[in-house]
Amino acid sequence: MNLKDKKIGVLMGGLSAEREVSLKTGEAIYNALKTRLGYNACRIDAGRDLAEALGREAVQVAFIALHGGAGENGAVQGLLEVMGIPYTGSGVLASALAMDKEFSKRIFTGSGIPVPEGAVLAKADFRPELVRKLAGTAGFPFPWVVKPATEGSSIGVSMVDDGSGIEPALEKAFALSGRVIVERRIRGMEVQVGILGGRVLGSVEVRPSREHGFYSYEAKYAGGKTQYILPPELDARTLGLAHDLGLAAHMALGCRGATRVDLILEDGVKPYVLEVNTIPGMTETSLLPKIARASGLDFPALVEEILKESLTDR
């Protein structure tokens, strides 16, 4: 299939809490495809009329630039499967698993991939006495990370230093998901590994400013709030281990195309996998384009490689 002869629909926006970031990602991808690469591309704002919009625009290949919600959890991928439209990125199952932090951690643990110790709480069980019990029996000391099981971009994430912070952190996370992950907070170097087509592109170390303390939503998308070090300041053995674990996490979930795997290295030595992002951000501050550029792949070339992956057998 000659992709230059096909109508490419860039799916962007959507209905999730990450809509604004998705619009920026989609616009950057659309401009690369249309203006710089000469593809027959169009923008599709993925609302509740997505199926009708795809038919109206006669889209033949979908470039998914959606973050969070239905765009990243396998629902949109399932719609495209039913409609017979090839699409970029991971399939239905891998997308659903990666978006659900509880189940992706189960897969990682079963595959021998190290993850932070943690517990899962259901909203139906959320009551004051449970909070007190959790503080006493979690099995790992403070500080903790509290986060929704099914959100991305660090939305709804809180750092909890002692028992007084548990309840507000849980309320914040439960407002976004029916299940919440409580983990031991690991202090160390944050490293993101870029994967494309089943190979490691490279990695970047992120150093959030002190005002953020961790790679929060604001640190990710507010310019100047984070330092990026490419490659990470690690010895070759440790960097190689981080890359191997990133690729192993990608493969364990059955991911395809481009992903970004988030890790944290305790004391800069021992890596833990936090999550796999099946639709990495593609804004001017996004990490995958930085990693690709350092590997010799500029932004249009990265976009084209991701598009070509849409035609490989699923």
**Residues involved in catalysis:** 18, 153, 221, 260, 262, 275, 277, 281
Q: Distance between CA 191 and CA 184 in Å, rounded?
A: 18
Cα torsion through 165, 178, 145, 267, rounded to 10: 170
- Measure Cα distances from 291 to 240, 282, 300, 312 in Å: 15, 11, 14, 23
Helix axes 166-174, 128-137, angle to 10 degrees: 120
Q: Distance between CA 189 and CA 271 in Å, rounded?
A: 9
Task: Give which of 312, 310, 193, 314 is closest to 250, Cα–Cα.
Answer: 193
For residue 165, what is the DSSP state? G
Q: Which two tokens stand for residue 183?
A: 């983990």
Task: Give which of 128, 126, 170, 125 is closest to 149, Cα–Cα.
Answer: 170
Residue 225: count other Cβ atoms within 10 Å of its Cβ.
16
